[in-house]
């Protein structure tokens, strides 16, 4: 196989797998910090229980996120030597600052956050949680600055050998698309985590487990979702118009627009045929694309044909990934608004169908994040540094077989890690945010917690009252 | 001398500092992993892991720091050496993933704990061996053509690399044993003291072998070490190393509890000094010097300024993180729960 294709597949897979974890930990770190602060200031044990519960999930996700991130920092050299040779002057310091200001901050305080609550006071624990949360946000800032530079490069110039030299650091970091991209990603993480917290809490509410804590968490999550989901859509609109201006080809691929058009239609669904350069089976709404992109009925939108074919991305991936992201955004908005309405009617905590809906929405944020990144990264092709360096010229002098070997290993290892994570996370979730007073199933009868009846929340065949409590509240497996 | 000539030296020192901190810090926790399956009982294993649990992530961050700093300051070292050592780097990363997730997953299962014991110990061992192969490959040198790596996928395989790998296994095990003597007590400490002797013997033999072999097989290294008058300045290094190794041997049982760990750190520092003498002043040995391989001046200044400002703060709170968990590590259950609430 073509080494460029293999290198791209490996990077896409490893970076795609990696982004799931920061998405979870950026939001969760802030949520845990908030809970730690509330526990410190109010002394309500429900916040403590929730904090302990979410710290366990955070701890697992953080480890996987950190380790899969290390992989990426080395892949830039092992698989993309041409890229690192060309852009090291510009992006090297950004990556370095990410480690210096973010990773060390996280690593320095994560020990105290996870294991130190007994050794330091509540205030210092809150401070450590804030440092970890700040670290995750700082990390997002640097890495999105680097990514935005690849999308909308500025402040540097390439010499005859293709090596970039920095002219102005301010311009390198604060590129045209950086503020929107950063806001869009951070907000995506917060929205995703809101729906994760809502989903897990609704699972507990459905099982009538740790009801007080689950209500508090569900309420917090639905408030967050109600505020942030519309915000995210507004930020997305800004980002889209930024793309229209700075990366018109990518935007044309997202919209499935071949010819430069005034009053461009919104293509709801179609099959973009790159050979014929037209859409098959298109369902269109006239003029709407121009309206939301240019905020005018007859605004001009550039089509793909404005540039030569050799500068087109692979249109179907960009086109469909974008629709998946937007579709999920619409679903999440509907759920958030429904939650708001139910709250007004004071039915938020006991509308069972809505709890099922929230539970089902748990993974949607992650899918939207993956789809969004696929849109923006595939839409940047065939460039690795937009308009300057082609992806095909950026690859490392490594044989295809070596990449194939490592790619296969990554597929196997990451699949395994995802399964194991889900297994343990499910067990933590099933055990629930009960306080320390909980009787454990193992204390009543070893092995009880592992039985299927206990997992389903149904009383065992010979129920004792203690066992029934356990089935609802207890931890599952030692 | 001008800034353009001096700054690369300063930056090389900074990269060297990060590499040394990584090797020392992750060295002892990889070492604990290497010794993991040798421990007599599960109890000791729980304590061993608990002793490094709050700090391993910070230690491993220095690996990323070293990598990104190399990219920012000496990109030639990054984009030539990483493709050259593609397979050992990849397998090191796989191994680090396995040992890393073991921290999260091991205590959550009883039935399958052996799998995570194996992942932790095996991951630590394989990561260390891979680092050895990279080190050996660095001493041997790599093939270049028009500034890019032009060798084969398996060029990294060499007896010198294997020897470096085994030597690092011994050295990290020694560091790990020293850490356990310091941070634990009871049977875990006894185990660490017993195993420290074997680790020390392995380290001493492999250090000698690697030094002799690289002097014999790489003429440039031999020339560096045996030329008069420089031999006068650098001869004390091997002599001192031998003296420290001997001191450790005599102090494992009777000495202070921190002794083995501190002296093992000194052994590593001396070994690193020897390595620097062998390959100075190259980023890519015998092809690209630190002056040819350095980034633009404005990039070095941007990196240097920020590092000078932020690195002291980083070191301060990293130190604080160690300070919070000072003293002997108490039982695993104690350190994993928050305010006495079990972790699961």
Q: Which residue of B has its CA nearest to A406?
A: B90
Q: How sure is the predictor about A435, in pLDDT bands with cuts at 50, 70 and 90?
A: low
How many A/B residue pairs have CB atoms within 8 Å?
Answer: 239
DSSP string, A352-417: HHHHHHHHHTTTHHHHHHHHHHHHHHHHHTTEEETTTEEGGGS--S--HHHHHHHHHHHHHHHHHH
Q: How sure is the predictor about A193, in pLDDT bands with cuts at 50, 70 and 90?
A: very high
Is residue A120 a part of any domain in this protein?
yes
Q: What is the dihedral of CA A186, A187, A193, A195, to 10 degrees?
A: -160
- Same domain assignment for residues A374 and A462: no
Does the structure show a pLDDT above 80 at B97?
yes
Which one of A301, A323, A358 terminates a domain?
A: A301
Hey, which residues does A280 pair with through a beta bridge? A271
Is residue B305 a part of any domain in this protein?
no
Whether the CB-CB separation of A171 and A90 falls below 8 Å is answered with no
Is residue A478 a part of any domain in this protein?
no
Q: Which residue of B has its CA nearest to A435?
A: B341
Domain count, chain B: 1
Of A92, A119, A397, the CB nearest to B83: A397
Residue A52 neighbours by CB under 8 Å, 6+ apart = A433, B338, B339, B341
- Same domain assignment for residues A155 and A271: no
Is residue A460 a part of any domain in this protein?
yes
Domain hosting residue A64, numbered range: 3-254+308-431
User: How far is CA A89 from each of CA A93, A280, B295, B303, rounded to the nearest angstrom?
Assistant: 7, 45, 6, 10
The pLDDT tens digits of the residues spanning B32-83 come to 999 999 998 888 898 999 899 888 888 888 998 998 999 999 998 888 888 8
- Same domain assignment for residues A272 and A215: no
> In B185-341, at which residue ranges do the beta strands (DSSP E only) sit?
282-284, 288-289
Of A96, A108, A398, the CB nearest to B318: A108
- Same domain assignment for residues A377 and A455: no
Whether the CB-CB separation of B165 and B129 falls below 8 Å is answered with yes
- Same domain assignment for residues A250 and A265: no
Helix (H) or strand (E) holding A282: strand A278-285
Of B73, B152, B324, the CB nearest to A116: B324
Is residue B282 a part of any domain in this protein?
yes
Does the structure show a pLDDT above 70 at A446?
no
> In B8-73, at which residue ranges do the beta strands (DSSP E only) sit?
none
What percent of chain A has a predicted confidence (pLDDT) above 70?
Answer: 91
Higher pLDDT, B104 or B336: B104
Closest approach of A186 to chain B, Cα-based (Å):
23
Give the number of other CB atoms < 10 A from CB of residue B246: 12
Helix (H) or strand (E) holding A164: strand A164-166
Tell me the CATH number at B288.
Answer: 1.20.1630
What is the ipTM metric for this complex?
A: 0.86
Does the structure show a pLDDT above 60 at A473?
no
- Same domain assignment for residues A246 and A296: no
The answer to whether A475 contacts B342, with C-beta atoms less than 8 Å apart, is yes
Is residue B70 a part of any domain in this protein?
yes
Domain count, chain A: 3
- Same domain assignment for residues A461 and A341: no
Q: How sure is the predictor about A30, in pLDDT bands with cuts at 50, 70 and 90?
A: very high
Beta strand A164-166 pairing with A278-285: unpaired
Is residue A436 a part of any domain in this protein?
no
Does the structure show a pLDDT above 70 at B165?
yes
Residues of B within 8 A of A417 (CB-CB) are 97, 101
Domain hosting residue B157, numbered range: 12-299+310-336
Residue matched to tokens 């450790």: B248
* Residue A446 in tokens: 């070893």
- Same domain assignment for residues A74 and A206: yes
Hey, which residues does A162 pair with through a beta bridge? none
Is residue B329 a part of any domain in this protein?
yes
Q: How sure is the predictor about A458, in pLDDT bands with cuts at 50, 70 and 90?
A: very low
pLDDT of residue A412: 93
User: What mean pLDDT comes out for the span A210-214?
Assistant: 85
Is residue B186 a part of any domain in this protein?
yes
């Amino acid at each position: 196989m073509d080494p460029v294709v293999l290198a791209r597949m490996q990077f896409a897979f490893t970076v795609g797998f990696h982004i799931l974890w920061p998405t979870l930990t950026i939001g969760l770190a802030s949520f845990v910090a908030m809970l730690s602060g509330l526990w410190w200031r109010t002394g309500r044990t429900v916040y403590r229980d929730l904090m302990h519960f979410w710290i366990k999930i955070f701890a697992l996700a953080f480890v996987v996120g950190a380790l899969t991130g290390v992989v990426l920092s080395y892949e830039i050299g092992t698989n993309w030597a041409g890229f690192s040779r060309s852009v090291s002057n510009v992006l090297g310091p950004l990556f370095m600052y990410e480690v210096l200001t973010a990773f060390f901050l996280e690593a320095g305080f994560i020990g105290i956050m996870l294991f130190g609550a007994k050794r330091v006071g509540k205030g210092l624990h809150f401070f450590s949680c804030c440092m970890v949360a700040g670290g995750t946000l700082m990390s997002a800032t640097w890495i999105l600055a680097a990514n935005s530079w690849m999308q909308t490069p500025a402040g540097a110039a390439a010499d005859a050998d293709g090596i970039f030299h920095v002219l102005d650091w301010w311009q390198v970091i604060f590129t045209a698309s950086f503020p929107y991209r950063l806001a869009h990603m951070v907000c995506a993480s917060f929205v995703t985590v809101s729906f994760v917290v809502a989903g897990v809490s609704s699972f507990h509410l459905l099982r009538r487990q740790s009801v007080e804590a689950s209500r508090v968490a569900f309420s917090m999550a639905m408030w967050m979702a109600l505020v942030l989901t519309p915000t995210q859509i507004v930020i997305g609109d800004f980002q889209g118009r930024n793309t229209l201006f700075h990366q018109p080809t990518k935007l044309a691929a997202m919209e499935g627009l071949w010819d430069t058009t005034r009053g461009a239609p919104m293509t709801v669904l179609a099959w973009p045929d790159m050979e014929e350069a037209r859409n098959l089976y298109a369902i269109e709404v006239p003029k709407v694309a121009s309206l939301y992109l240019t905020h005018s009925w007859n605004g001009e939108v550039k089509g793909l044909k404005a540039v030569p074919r050799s500068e087109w991305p692979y249109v179907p991936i960009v086109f469909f990934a974008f629709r998946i992201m937007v579709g999920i955004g619409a679903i999440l908005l509907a759920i958030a608004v429904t939650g708001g309405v139910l709250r007004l009617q004071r039915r938020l905590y006991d509308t069972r169908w809505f709890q099922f809906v929230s539970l089902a929405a748990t993974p949607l944020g992650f899918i939207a994040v993956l789809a969004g990144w696929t849109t923006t990264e595939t839409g940047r092709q065939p460039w690795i540094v937009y308009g300057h360096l082609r992806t095909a010229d950026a690859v490392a002098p490594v044989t295809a077989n070596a990449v194939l070997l490592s790619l296969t290993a990554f597929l196997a290892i990451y699949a395994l890690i995802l399964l194991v994570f889900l297994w343990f996370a499910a067990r933590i979730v099933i055990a629930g945010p009960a306080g320390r007073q909980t009787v454990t199933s193992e204390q009543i009868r070893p092995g009880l917690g592992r039985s299927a009846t206990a997992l389903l929340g149904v009383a065992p065949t010979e129920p004792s009252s203690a066992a029934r409590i356990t089935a609802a509240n207890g931890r599952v497996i030692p | 001398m001008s800034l353009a000539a001096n700054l690369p030296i300063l930056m090389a020192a900074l990269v060297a500092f990060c590499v040394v901190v990584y090797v020392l810090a992750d060295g002892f926790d990889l070492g604990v992993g290497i010794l993991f399956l040798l421990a007599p009982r599960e109890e000791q294993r729980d304590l061993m892991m608990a002793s490094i649990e709050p700090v391993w992530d910070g230690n491993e961050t220095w690996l990323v720091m070293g990598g990104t700093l190399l990219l920012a300051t000496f990109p030639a070292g990054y984009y030539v050496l990483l493709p050259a050592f593609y397979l050992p780097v990849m397998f090191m990363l796989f191994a680090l993933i396995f040992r890393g997730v073991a921290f999260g997953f091991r205590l959550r299962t009883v039935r399958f704990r052996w799998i995570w014991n194996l992942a932790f110990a095996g991951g630590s061992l394989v990561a260390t061996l891979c680092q050895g192969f990279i080190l050996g490959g660095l001493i041997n040198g790599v093939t270049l053509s028009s500034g890019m790596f032009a060798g084969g996928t398996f060029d990294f395989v060499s007896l010198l690399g294997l020897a470096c790998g085994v030597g690092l296994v011994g050295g990290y095990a020694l560091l790990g044993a020293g850490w356990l003597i310091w941070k634990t007590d009871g049977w875990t400490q006894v185990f660490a003291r017993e195993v420290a002797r074997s680790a020390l013997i392995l380290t001493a033999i492999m250090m000698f072998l690697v030094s002799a072999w690289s002097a014999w097989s790489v003429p440039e290294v031999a020339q560096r070490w045996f030329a008069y008058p420089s031999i006068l300045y650098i001869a004390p290094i091997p002599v001192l190393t031998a003296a420290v190794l001997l001191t450790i041997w005599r102090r494992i049982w009777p000495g202070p509890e921190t002794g083995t760990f501190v002296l093992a750190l000194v052994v590593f520092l001396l070994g690193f000094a020897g390595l620097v003498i062998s390959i100075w002043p190259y980023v890519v040995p015998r092809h690209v010097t630190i002056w040819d391989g350095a980034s633009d001046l404005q990039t070095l200044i941007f990196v240097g300024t920020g590092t000078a400002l932020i690195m002291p703060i980083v070191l301060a709170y990293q130190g604080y993180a160690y300070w919070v968990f000072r003293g002997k590590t108490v039982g695993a259950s104690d350190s994993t729960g928050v305010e006495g609430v079990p972790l699961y």
